[in-house]
Amino acid sequence: MGDAAGVQSRQDLEPVRRLFSGDHARWWRELYAGPPRSAQEHFFRQRRDVACAQLAMRVAHETPVLDLGCGAAPVLARLRRWGWRCTGLDGSPEMLAQARERLVAAGLDDSDLRLGDARALPFADASFGAVVCLGVISYVEDHEAVLGEIRRVLVPGGIALVSCRSATAPVIWDPWQWVRRAARRVLRGAARSEAFTPGRFMPPHEVRGDLQAVGLEVLEEIGIGYGPPRLAGREWLPHALVMRLDAALSRLAKGNRAGRWLRPAADIQLWVVRSPAVQGPAA
């Protein structure tokens, strides 16, 4: 994969860890408790549900699974409840504490939780039959290193689920965002890229290209969460109507043709990818 030490020197992850500590850590824990209070909470729960359903459909129970960026263990807890042998890894000690608390409260095994860096995983090659990596790449500037590590730890033919929030969706759902972006391009010049921000929304076509560049085959791309309509950042539909809109568009998106057209409007993009059946060196 290249020099892991060199990769780690390019971004100090301490600011990212602070985003998952204190009040932020508690917010992530409470995100999956009780009825959703916002479209964002609703979409993140859908992400968990879709990811778990995809894994159940594609991966046998005896397959070892890595939940990379397990956070407060919403996915890990469900998979362990369903009988999978799962390892959880996160870069935040507070999130791992939240994960352990969730697992213990559910009467589940709270072992095999690891603190680590997604850019240099502490696992041997071909250690896992499946990897779940939801939202992590948005927080890592050199996210290609994370994708390369996912390929490295997957067995040949192993499955990975990778997600990010889409940079396209905010523009579709809030016309003012298009105006702001166009203005920034004019003022800054088309050749200058914006500074990296942890938790950024990412262009789906670029992520798909990055997945393929490290040698992962894209099997399916799934859009999750439609809306809410905004004007200059402000939602103008009641929460109940946003949920109805999302449900209607989600049903429509299940058709192959409609899905291709609607996917760019989804808040979250989830890629189902497969490691090469014959494992060679990662790109």
Give the model confidence (pLDDT) of 180-200 as tens digits: 776 766 776 654 557 889 999
Q: For residue 283, is it within any domain? A: no
Q: How many domains does the chain have?
A: 1
Contacts of 202 (CB under 8 A, 6+ apart): 137, 138, 164, 165, 166, 167
Q: For residue 216, is it within any domain? A: yes
> CB of 263 within 8 A of CB of 253?
yes
pLDDT for position 6:
42
Residue-number span of the structural domain to which 146 is assigned? 4-274
Q: For residue 79, is it within any domain? A: yes
Which position has the token pair 């250690």? Answer: 127
Other residues' Cβ atoms within 10 Å of the Cβ of residue 78: 20
Q: For residue 279, is it within any domain? A: no
- Place 17 in a pLDDT band, splitting at 50, 70 and 90: confident
Q: For residue 280, is it within any domain? A: no
* 7, pLDDT greater than 50: no
CA angle 136, 36, 95 (to 5 degrees): 35
Amino acid letter for position 28: W
> CB of 95 within 8 A of CB of 72?
yes
- Place 279 in a pLDDT band, splitting at 50, 70 and 90: low
* 209, pLDDT greater than 90: yes
Choose among 146, 128, 7: nearest CA to 69: 146
Helix residue ranges per DSSP H, 4-128: 4-9, 14-18, 23-30, 39-58, 74-82, 93-105
Average pLDDT (67-96) is 96
219's tokens: 């099997």
DSSP annotation string for 158-182:
EEEEEEEEBSSHHHHH-HHHHHHHH
What is the CATH number for 89? 3.40.50.150
* Dist. CA 208–CA 156, nearest whole Å: 20
Q: For residue 282, is it within any domain? A: no
* Dist. CA 239–CA 236, nearest whole Å: 9
pLDDT higher at 52 or 4: 52
How does the average pLDDT of the chain come out, rounded? 89
Give me the sign of the Cα torsion angle 187, 193, 198, 201. Answer: positive
112's tokens: 């095999």
pLDDT for position 23:
84
Note the pLDDT tens digit of each residue in 35-73: 888 899 999 999 999 999 999 999 999 999 999 999 999
pLDDT for position 193:
59
